[in-house]
Amino acid sequence: MNIYNENAIGQGWRSQTRQNTHLYAEDVKAKATKTADILGIPCEDECGLSEYPNLPDSIHPGVLSGQALMDLLEDAKVKGYAIPAVNCVTSSSINACLEAARRNDAPIMIQFSSGGSQFYAGKGLDNSNYQAAIAGAVSGAFHVRTMAEQYGVPVILHTDHCAKKLLPWVDGLLEASERYYEQHGEPLFSSHMIDLSEEPIEENIEICQDYLKRMDKMGMVLEMELGITGGEEDGVNNEDVDKDELYSKPEEIHQVYEALSPISDKFTVAAAFGNVHGVYAGDIELRPPILDSAQKYITEKLGAKAPKDKKPVYFVFHGGSGSSVEDIREAIGYGCIKMNIDTDTQWSYWSGIRDFEKKYSPYLQTQIGNPDGEDKPNKKFYDPRECIRAAEVSTVDRLQMAFEDLNCQNVLGLDPPKEPANTLGPRRGGLPV
């Protein structure tokens, strides 16, 4: 069905969609239970909040879905900020993201790639049918659900690039969400990305339509990629792609919008405007005005049905590491509500460990014996909690820069977090990393 032709249902369809969405939100609110209650763990301070001072009352601490998720995306688009989306591979990297979000009084998106999910499960598991990647992502999802509430921040729980060959991985995760939905009235994950940008656009759209139908029943958001993001990430190498493929056309973005909108409003588009994964010294040209042109083109096609802000599409920014603040904020102004951050956080995590080793090198060469004496033990220096915490601190600091670049600070309206108390570590509190 084409909602823009003479046979379209028109305004009545949109009114019914809003009504159904409202009913869904009320249904979820009635059924949903805090993860802390499900697991029987404490839920104090910010964890016990039901809403935030500066956000719509549907948005709460923990993982979002349904109307709460859409309200957050709309708030970002209207107020002009984007949510940092960080690829995580361990519980440590997840905790660093949550700590950074609370420090910046902001929401965050935590996402897993298929390779990152497999690593989360452990490289000792067989992954022939993606079972390790499925188990790893599900395990990570429960960790995020448990700890996001404790940190008191709203989280979008997402999976990153899923090429055609990886669709069984997302299928397994959708089955997990469907089971979780039956029990708790909400999906395990908030959203998934389907990346069929290497396939013909007609096939890309058709498959995304099928997935959106399945996901919309649980209030999940579909992220689809249109065009190719250059560079290399998680085994997908587009470093030698033709530059013309790095830029989406307004007509193509409209084609996607026209195909998905009749199914649900719960979708975002990763359009290509010169984005490149990683940090490169080569000739890379971001063209954010491509997003503006698309918004104007679709607005014109919609006519009276266009939203008041004339930004009908929720855009996402892939390949954000190394981008200039000017380009980032220009993209946000054109309706970009999310930016992926992977390469820079990988570097910050590593540099935290590297700097820790450099600082305490004389104490990290043997178990016993250091500059303080030949018989002095070094256990509190090589305890893995120390270098891992150094990596987390470095990552939190780097993410603070990202939150600032994305105008994503003081979004929730909470007071600054209290200094943690009773944080035990090796040898009476650990080292001052």
What positions carry a catalytic annotation?
160
Query: If you search the block for the tokens 């019914």, which residue do you land on?
Result: 16
Cα–Cα distance between 224 and 204 in angstroms, integer?
Answer: 8
| DSSP single-letter state for residue 403 | H
Evaluate whether 258 touches 278 at the Cβ level (below 8 Å): no
Q: Give the DSSP H or E segment for 265.
A: none
Evaluate whether 328 touches 319 at the Cβ level (below 8 Å): no
Evaluate whether 339 touches 85 at the Cβ level (below 8 Å): yes
Give me the torsion for CA of 418, 424, 430, 433, rounded to 10°: -30
Cα–Cα distance between 68 and 266 in angstroms, integer?
Answer: 11
Cα–Cα distance between 221 and 34 in angstroms, integer?
Answer: 21
Phi, psi of 296 (to 5 degrees): -65, -40
**Residue 371 CB neighbour total at 10 angstroms:** 8
Instruction: For residue 235, count CB atoms less than 10 angstroms from its CB and return exposed for 0-12, middle for 13-18, buried for 19 or more.
Output: exposed
Evaluate whether 159 touches 189 at the Cβ level (below 8 Å): yes
Cα–Cα distance between 196 and 203 in angstroms, integer?
Answer: 8
